[in-house]
Amino acid sequence: MSFLHINNVHKRFGETHVLKGVDIAIEQGDFLVLVGPSGCGKSTLLNMIAGLDSISEGELLLDGRCINDVHPSRRDIAMVFQSYALYPSMTVAGNIGFGLEMRKVPRKERREAVDRVAKLLQIENLLDRKPGQLSGGQRQRVAMGRALVRDPQLFLFDEPLSNLDAKLRVDMRSEIKQLHQRLKTTIVYVTHDQVEAMTLATRIAVMRAGELQQLGTPHEVYDDPNNLFVAGFMGSPSMNLVKARIVEHDGVLVAQVATGDTTLALPIVRDREALSDWCGRDVILGLRPEAITDPASANHRDGNIHEAELPVDLIEPTGADLYVVTTLGDASVNARMRPGTPLRPGERTRFAFDVSRMVVFDPESERRIRDEQMIDSALEETA
Amino acid sequence: MSAASPAARRGAATRVVLYAILLVFAVIYLMPLYVMLTTSFKTLEEIHQGNMLALPGEWTLAPWREAWGSACIGLECNGVHGYFFNSIKIVIPAVLISGLLGAFNGYVLTKWKFRGHKIVFGLILFSCFIPFQIILLPMARVLGILHLANSTGGLVLVHIVYGIGFTTLFFRNFYASFPDELVRAAQLDGAGFFTIFFRILLPASVPIIVVTIIWQFTNVWNDFLFGVSFASGDSAPITVALNNLVNSSTGVKAYNVNMAAAMVAAVPTLIVYILAGKYFLRGLMSGSVKG
Ligand SMILES: Nc1ncnc2c1ncn2[C@@H]1O[C@H](COP(=O)(O)OP(=O)(O)OP(=O)(O)O)[C@@H](O)[C@H]1O
Ligand SMILES: [Mg+2]
């Protein structure tokens, strides 16, 4: 029995069908991150879990109990809102302690709980201020404090870090991660930030237009996407998607990519069984930038590296990496190379393709073409 | 400043003209108040000399004392003070109750929307456009049935009923821009309907409370028509008493006493403007939500 079970949940606002049957189940202590394009229904789903929006259809189970009709105040859920929603006329201490006050916690205990949380979030010196006198980052901490002080069964975070500057965001991110590791409370967290999703989550749910695209560990969603949308949405820079044709070449299954003058033939090592049915048909290949490198940085151990000489269109140094853009078929392709690799646009250089990380999609249904077994053994090793 | 550009000089000239015009209007506007004030401190003989704009040659408080305590209104010669307190007794409950009801209406109409909330608001709003005169007869009948005719209580009821339309309008529009998420957060924190209203919304409503108080206080205090229609004799408000005072003085018109009484009638609204205006602060909502 899972701890939080979102069972075929629908949401309609009048005529508009916002959530179209979402199924998500997570265990106690999980950190579920909801990602998806703006307007796909993430906040709506969060509000429904909190009880602030009604459920049009389906069932919501928390710890085995159906909470569809339970009042928000009785769900034992704390939420951090996308806008911080601090009470403007109360002090920081009043804001944090309000939930406890409403639950009739005695004044002394309340004071202690507020102090404890304030210390945790390093806002002890702000307790007597009003929200209007705080900076964005401080308000954000108060909003967190208001949730943390309550020790609920479930935390809901709606893009809590979206308005912070880059530095504060990274700090808060690791604080949230530490907090989760310490408290082990179940969390549902909405974000647009790829790094936040990958670093915080134990489970990622990718949504699109009110439908769940994939639910899995960050590793599964990143390396083993269900469809083209998930492949393109997760990761930054995003996965390279290239048109190709599956052919059998001397008894070996390869994906052929036309690259101007030559044809690149990448051997298929993953999902071979499923792909043998696709001989002679067009597909879309997915390759992460980090699966295309310079030969020296490639992992040659498993013999899954395929090298090819290609022209360099553009180089983009980021400091930590050097992204090299080349052309495969009619698509620009990003490769990640060691910084300092001496390259200039217009030159030709050798690229190393890690074909064990290559995923293949059906261009029509946009679904992944994959073997039946859920866990790819090759993938397990690279992990 | 010697190098001031022609554009800057033209700007300054425009400003001088503008301020001059404004000053003229301000003087015209304040002239009656000035005449009232100076006249109320003059003796009758001095008034009869005819120079309205002159300062009192000899300052006297006698007209004020008479207006307050001994001027004759109808048959009784006790001044306006009794009627002044009548008005106080009417205005305080009328302002507080109509304001509170308006705030509640605004809260429910924006944060607890129910089916048909727009129609209900439309109907309440409609009451703002009904002229006073239309409701005089039906209201007199209702007060008769309630045994509130000719009493301050009856007048309080009339002002509350008539004020709810405006107070609801003020609070509804104010709460419409009050973030729903605050209400939702409070619900998750375990606060109920009334707690959310009194602890979250009302403390953040100071600007609109001030507007409502100024509006309702001025309307109720300055009302003459309802007062003269529904409360006569001892329960009349000060506006009615002032009218009676001016009309009932026989023989020589005691302009100084009349002016002093008029000032007494005007002072409370002035005080409300001065006191409440101080709390007319903006930006009380800042910091509750992002941005
Ligand atoms: N009260 C409402 N009435 C009608 N449609 C609504 C209502 N609330 C939300 N929607 C619609 O539901 C969809 C999902 O909204 P939601 O706020 O859940 O998006 P989101 O995924 O959180 O987006 P973002 O990332 O921008 O916050 C949107 O298309 C929105 O227009
Ligand atoms: Mg949202």
Are the Cβ atoms of A86 and B195 closer than 8 angstroms?
A: no
Q: Which sequence spans correspond to the domains of chain A?
A: 4-233, 240-382
> Considering only CB atoms, which chain B residues are within 8 Å of A90?
199, 203
Residue B159 · residue B148 · CB < 8 Å: no
CA nearest A138: which of A188, A89, A95?
A95
DSSP B158: H
Of A81, A102, A163, the CB nearest to B190: A102
pLDDT at B263 over 60: yes
For B217-233, write each residue's pLDDT tens digit: 999 999 999 998 888 78
Q: Which amino acid is at B147?
A: H
| B87 Cα–ligand 2 center, Å | 53
Angle between helix B255-278 and helix B62-69 axes, rounded to 10 deg:
80
User: What are the contacts of A310-318 at 24+ separation with CB within 8 A?
Assistant: A310/A259, A310/A264, A310/A348, A310/A349, A310/A351, A311/A346, A311/A347, A311/A348, A312/A343, A312/A344, A312/A345, A312/A346, A312/A347, A312/A348, A312/A349, A313/A345, A314/A345, A315/A343, A315/A344, A315/A345
Closest ligand 1 atom to Cα of A53: 1
Tell me what the pLDDT averaged over chain B comes to.
Answer: 87
The confidence score (pLDDT) of residue B249 equals 58
Query: CA-nearest residue of chain A to B179?
Result: A85
Query: Taking CB atoms and an 8 Å limit, are A52 and B187 in contact across chains?
Result: yes
Helix (H, G, I), strand (E, B) or coil at A235: coil
Do A232 and A359 form a contact (C-beta atoms < 8 A)?
no
Q: pLDDT tens string for chain A (383 positions)?
A: 789 999 999 999 989 999 999 999 999 999 999 999 999 999 999 999 999 999 999 999 999 899 999 999 888 899 999 888 999 999 999 999 999 999 999 999 999 999 999 988 889 999 999 998 998 888 988 998 999 898 899 999 999 888 777 887 888 899 889 989 988 999 999 998 888 999 999 999 999 999 999 999 999 999 999 999 999 999 888 999 999 999 987 888 999 998 877 788 999 988 888 888 899 999 999 999 999 999 988 888 878 899 999 999 999 998 889 999 999 888 899 999 998 888 889 899 999 999 999 999 999 999 999 887 655 444 444 44
State the pLDDT at residue B280: 55
For the record, the structure tokens of B90 come out as 């009417």
Strands lying side by side in the sheet with A348-354:
A292-293, A348-354, A305-311
Looking at residue A48, what is its pLDDT? Answer: 95
Ligand 1 proximal residues by C-beta, below 6 Å: A 13, 16, 18, 38-44
Residue with tokens 């001892």: B234
Nearest to B237 by CA among B91, B93, B131, B95: B91
pLDDT tier, B279 (very low <50, low <70, confident <90, very high otherwise): low
Alpha helices in A184-310 (DSSP H): 194-200, 218-223, 228-233, 272-275
From the list B222, B230, B233, the residue with the least C-alpha distance to B139 is: B230
Percent helix / strand / coil, chain A, rounded to 5: 30, 35, 35
For A100, which residue in chain B has the nearest alpha carbon? Answer: B189
Q: Quick one: pLDDT at residue B4?
A: 61
| From the candidate CATH numbers 3.40.47.10, 3.30.1490.20, 1.10.3720.10, 3.80.10.10, the one assigned to the domain spanning B81-289 | 1.10.3720.10
Residue nearest to atom 8 of ligand 1 (CA): A44
Strand A31-35 to A186-190 pairing? parallel
Measured between CA atoms, the residue of chain A closest to residue B191 is A102
Which of A78, A133, A163 is the closest to B290 by Cβ? Answer: A163
Complex confidence, ipTM: 0.78
Q: Which atom of ligand 1 is nearest to the CA of A46?
A: 18
Cβ neighbours of residue A155 closer than 8 Å, sequence gap 6 or more: A77, A78, A79, A80, A147, A185, A186, A187, A188, A189
- The full DSSP string for B106-152 is HHHHHHS--TTHHHHHHHHHHGGGS-HHHHHHHHHHHHHHTT-TTSH
| Amino acid at the residue A2 | S
- Give the up-direction half-sphere exposure of residue A249: CA atoms within 13 A in the CB hemisphere: 13
Nearest CA to B255 among B76, B56, B29?
A: B56
**What pLDDT was estimated at residue B291?**
39
Q: What span, in angstroms and rounded, lies between the C-alpha atoms of A225 and A304?
A: 20
Residue B236 has pLDDT above 50, yes or no: yes
Amino acid making up residue A193:
D
B250: left (phi over 0), alpha (psi -120 to 50) or beta: beta
The shortest C-alpha distance from B93 to chain A (Å) reads 26
Query: Closest residue (by CA) to atom 18 of ligand 1?
Result: A41
Choose which residue among A10, A11, A17, A18 to substitute to test ligand 1 binding: the one with the highest number of ligand atoms within 8 A of its C-beta: A18
CB contact under 8 A, B290 and A139: yes
Parse chain B into domains and list their residue ranges. 6-60, 81-289
Does any CB of chain B come closer than 8 Å to the CB of residue A54? no
Under 8 Å between Cβ of A141 and A123: yes
Question: Is A98 within 8 Å of chain B by CB?
Answer: yes
What residues of A are in contact with residue B289 (Cβ under 8 Å)? Answer: 83-86
- Put simply, whether A89 touches B (Cβ < 8 Å) is yes
The closest CB to that of A81, out of B185, B287, B291, belongs to B185
Name the CATH superfamily, with its identifier, for domain A240-382: Nucleic acid-binding proteins (2.40.50.140)
How many A×B Cβ pairs under 8 Å? 94
Which of these CATH numbers, 1.10.3720.10, 3.40.50.300, 3.65.10.10, 3.40.50.720, describes A4-233?
A: 3.40.50.300
Mean pLDDT confidence for B65-92: 88
Atom from ligand 1 closest to the CA of residue A192: 25
Q: Which ligand is nearest to the Cα of residue A14, counting in written order?
A: 1
Answer for the pair A245, A282: CB distance below 8 angstroms, yes or no: yes
Q: Which residues surround ligand 2, an ion (CB under 5 A)?
A: A 43
Q: How far apart, in whole angstroms, are the C-alpha atoms of residue A156 and residue A152?
A: 10
For ligand 1, the distance from its centroid to the CA atom of residue A212, given in whole angstroms, is: 15
In this prediction, residue B188 carries a pLDDT of: 92
* CB contact at 8 A, A104 and B192: no
Beta bridge partners of B279: none
Question: What DSSP character marks residue A239?
Answer: P
Dump pLDDT digits (tens) for B16-36: 999 999 999 999 999 999 999
